[in-house]
Homo-oligomer: A and B are copies of this chain.
Amino acid sequence: MSAAPAPPSAVVDLLGLVALGELFAFDRMAADARLAPDLRRRAELSAMAAAEMANYRRLADRLTELGALPDDAMAPYVTALQAYHDSTEPKDWLEAVTKAYVGDAVADDFIREIAEALAEPDRQLVLDVLHESRYADFAAAEIRAAIEADPRVANRLSMWARRLVGEGLSQAGRVAAADRGALTGLIVRDGAGDAQKLFRRLTAAHTERMAAVGLNN
């Protein structure tokens, strides 16, 4: 069943959410880069962070083009995203790369699903700001190498990943509860079952990614 095009307010809400996600991800990854054991790896995570800002700029420009102030479009999500990052501050390098690996991927899956509800050019814009796979590859390689060096690491990072997902879902719930209807309208197009199906798809993809680096869900 093909849905009607998303109303402009829904587009602004969604772009605002994604833009703030980029801005906060930049901030936290930049800070987490200090946990790197050497300058090379510090530069890698810093570059991952910097890539978020190029995406942020494109989203903010599009919001302006749509007649919205980026700050206003982002404002409704500040509390939830801030709370997510505050409650998931990595305490070492492996927690930092695991957070980047897990968080970016779940965010990308979510964005990819939502993009399908948008008309062009917003659909393509949102698909364009998905993370480059070389960053995920870098994070995955770091996790795998650490587990190979010390298998006990797998247990600790699996627990950490579960906490990341738990905190993420809890804050996603807050976003949905505060939503004025436009955003959830993008997800729940054919009935309440949509949200459940989306949730199941995101969880399945996450479980697969965990297994790929030697973590269990």
Interface residues, chain A, CB within 8 Å of chain B?
20, 23, 26-27, 30-31, 33-34, 38-40, 42-43, 46-47, 49-54, 56-57, 60, 70-71, 74-75, 78
Contacts and interface: CB of A to CB of B under 8 A. Distances in A.
A165 to B, nearest CB: 26
Contacts of A40: 70-71
B46 A54 contact: no
Q: Max chain B CB contacts within 10 Å: which of A27, A46, A47, A70?
A: A46
Contacts of A43: 23, 53, 56-57, 60, 70
A27 B46 contact: yes
B57 A53 contact: no
A60 B34 CA distance: 18
A82 B82 CA distance: 28
A53 B56 CA distance: 15
A27 B33 contact: yes
A39 B42 CA distance: 26
Given A23-B39, A39-B74, A50-B52, 18 more contacts: A20-B39, A27-B30, A27-B46, A30-B30, A30-B49, A31-B31, A38-B71, A39-B71, A39-B75, A39-B78, A40-B70, A43-B56, A43-B57, A43-B60, A46-B53, A46-B56, A47-B56, A50-B54
Contacts of A20: 39
Contact of A50 (B26, B60, B70, B75): B26
A26 B39 contact: no
Nearest to A38: B71
A47 B46 CA distance: 13
A27 B71 CA distance: 24
A17 B171 CA distance: 42
